[in-house]
Amino acid sequence: MFRGDARTLHSGEGNQFLTATVGETSVLVLDDEPHARQRRVLLPPLKGERMRAFFHAMQSVTLETVRTWPPGKPLRVLEPFQDITLKVMLQVVLGLTSPAELALFAGKVQRVLALGRGRYGLILVKLLPLALLQRTRWLPFYQRMHELDELLLACIEQFRRQPRGERRESILADLLAASHEDGQPLMNSEIRDALVTLIFAGHDTTSIALSWALEQIAPRPDVVGRITDELRQATGGEPPSADQLNQLPYLDAAIRESLRLRTIMPFVVRMTKAPFVAGGREYPPGVVLCPCIHLLHRREDLYPEPEKFLPERFLERRFAAHEWIPFGGGNRMCLGMAFALYEMKTVLSALFAAVRLARPAGRRSVPVRRGLALAPHDGVQMVADRRPDRS
């Protein structure tokens, strides 16, 4: 399916219910050339040197958060990880720096996401008459989206009025400076949809992924020991610099193995627009096909002893793009894949350098529905103690 003709397999059409949040020009809900057009504009800031420019924001927010953790007392790490990833996304996407601005925008985003995280929230949004309700203020979901939109559009206009050289470094500044292949600048509605897509998709799923990673890593002394030794060899035990991140291959492997073993998005969606053959069976037009990420990552021919947490898998071989798919694949590969992996590595390396983590005895986290994602029911309880050589 990932190798199939994009004109035959539409993902955006299968995601139309998301327009209530991300808008009608988001890469999540477009297909064919409109999708490719938006993707070409959004991808550059999320990879390579442009992405690495945001290292300091990722690491500093993490260390500031860790300093507030009560030593020796259990805490649910999902909530602080949500705070970390949301602050990072607001700094990276909008260029926000002041605590007041961050708190204002974070509050608006969380108010919207709180409704979407419910078991039935997205189903209700799907069933409601969007054209009628999207511009009303009496329905809580749309009222909260209106409030966030007003802030975002004001932020866009504020940036537009500034000379290009005076704009704060951010993806918003990049989008305002970008243009389509025909030379046309992006409209406010396109920028708004891109910002919402990046903030929502890049915040919630990454915080869940970080929580699952600790749930897998912390109870395993051998894994923690190898990560700690790797940090000590690379940095002397300090949080790494941006240049030192590539000296942490075992941590990278542990992150990838946690994403394999703990499914966050259980499947991806394609709608057939013409007859399509998969697995020896022909599907007619109009069928929604859902490749299951969870089941693929448990194939024994790809992952021997698939229920075991073995980071070594990712040191011993390189998995193909259709074998390891936590970020989907094909022409719909998640735009934020490189950014999310980079952020996870930055956050966890800072965390393991700053504190020692332990899992309370007998704790077990169970996956539960959280909007479209599968999150730990207990937020993953941990006990953190500052390392003896750190204040």
Q: How far apart are CA 91 and CA 96, in angstroms?
A: 5
Residue 82 near residue 109 (C-beta atoms within 8 A): no
Q: What's the half-sphere exposure (Cβ side, CA atoms, 13 Å) at 21?
A: 27
Q: How far apart are CA 254 and CA 294, in angstroms?
A: 18
Q: For the sheet containing 270-272, what is the strand order?
A: 9-10, 270-272, 288-289
Q: How far apart are CA 198 and CA 62, in angstroms?
A: 20
Strand partners, 289: 270
Strand partners, 376: 367
Q: Cα–Cα–Cα angle for 262, 267, 273, nearest 5°?
A: 165
Q: How far apart are CA 26 and CA 85, in angstroms?
A: 21
Q: Give the residue numbers marked as catalytic.
A: 205, 327, 334
If you count DSSP H runs as helices and E runs as strands, how many of each does the chain have, helices first? Answer: 16, 10
Q: Cα–Cα–Cα angle for 331, 332, 334, nearest 5°?
A: 125
Sequential DSSP letters for 15-30: GGGGHHHH-TTSTTT-
Q: Which residues have a Cβ under 8 Å from the Cβ of 92 and sit 6 or more positions away? A: 54, 57, 170, 171
Q: Which of 26, 27, 14, 32 is nearest to 289 (CA)?
A: 14
The C-alpha R_g of the chain, in whole angstroms, comes to 21
Residue 130 near residue 24 (C-beta atoms within 8 A): no
